[in-house]
Structure 1
């Protein structure tokens, strides 16, 4: 019988996210940016809350096209504050614009945002071998370092816990538990692409 990580509920959307996205390496700049924004939106909330609103977020934030977001006017920000489809937190909404500016700067400097962000794990996913969900940390030395650097580079809502959650989401860290069928130990090759 196929087992999933213990945190996954029976909700089809959650199961699909776990099975097809969580822990799978992402190198696409726009998706990396989207996930960073969504992880920031999650601060103080559950991932399930954000996952259910993900399509609303995509529409509200022009599918996370940073080039568009950096030109948001006060009127656009006000309309986002009134959008019931997303978390209406002024600081979180403004952080998407701030983060878009930092994202574009780093993309220019490093050739891609992927080059920059994957550098924190030496451009290779960290595959952990946890037996239980309780063993999985909420942060580590890498997420601490990433958080400090992202803040220094102008990002907001990038604390160490958010960074660790982000690394899990974009496959920089694979924290599927050993019993989970998504753990690389159950795959034909080490990486799922």
Structure 2
């Protein structure tokens, strides 16, 4: 994401900010199946709760460094000293509940793996069938019955800070749903 993409009018979001535009054009709505990448996206969407996504996007390199590249095996071993270290790290969002949730979620992910299951299987089992693309931003929901069910399942598995709205944002970030507007250059395949 270091190469700036040209600004193209008509994006769903991101016009005017090269970092945001690159995220929109190359990541948002693109299917993700890698466990580390899925864990990172769920964690970052949890941190985003109540904040603008661009804030998290700008801090993503610092989050990656602070959370050991979102390697769940490493994050699951974080202890009180790590929580204190993270709470003192001004380069990330310093919210104790979100930090502790990310650690708990790493542990929940490892427990899932110990059962022979993957986060990929869990998330993608809630992918709704593709529907018509939205024609207006107002048609993009903040939560759906599928995201409510996903949030319920993640909580049952021990994940924290993953309510229906956060679950839906993760579904968008991981490509389970494609909410690019019908007029969006990414949906139409035009260079973005």
Q: After TM superposition, is the score higher than 0.5? A: yes
Q: Go from structure 1 to structure 2 and tell me whether the alpha carbon gap of 1:181 and 1:91 turns closer, same or farther (over 3 Å shift).
A: same
Q: Is residue 155 from structure 1 mapped to residue 165 from structure 2 by the alignment?
A: no
User: What per-residue deviation string (whole Å, max 9, x for no partner) do you get for residues 42-90 of structure 1?
Assistant: 1111111100100000000000001011111211110100000011111
Decide whether the 8 Å contact of 1:128 with 1:175 is kept in 2. Answer: no
User: Among residues 47, 51, 54, which one is paired with 1:48 in the alignment?
Assistant: 54
Match of 2:168 in 1: 164
Distance 1:2 1:66, change over 3 A: same
Structure 1 residue aligned with 2:143, among 133, 139, 164?
139
1:126 Cα deviation after fit: 3.2
Instruction: Single out whichever of 149-158 and 104-113 deviates more from structure 2.
Output: 104-113
RMSD, aligned CA: 1.8
**Is 2:120 aligned against 1:114?**
yes
Question: Does structure 1 residue 79 correspond to structure 2 residue 94?
Answer: no
Matches of 2:113 and 2:15, distance apart in 1: 36
**Structure 1 residue 128 displacement after superposition:** 4.1
TM value normalised by structure 2? 0.90
Q: Paired residues, what number? A: 184
2:101 and 2:159 in contact (8 A); partners too: yes
- Aligned residue for 2:38? 32
Q: Contact 2:13–2:24 (CA<8 Å) still a contact in 1?
A: no
**1: CA distance, partners of 2:85 / 2:100:** 12
Q: Deviations over 1:68-127 (max 9, x none)?
A: 1111121111010000001111111111110001111223334432122111127xx735
- TM-score, normalization by structure 1: 0.89
Q: 1:23 to 1:175 in 2, by over 3 A?
A: same
Structure 1 SS opposite 2:185: coil
Which residue number in structure 2 is paired with residue 104 of structure 1? 110
Does the 8 Å contact 2:8/2:15 carry over to 1? no
Residue 182 (1) aligns with residue 173 (2): no
Relative to structure 1, is the Cα distance of residues 12 and 95 closer, same or farther in structure 2, using a 3 angstrom cutoff? same
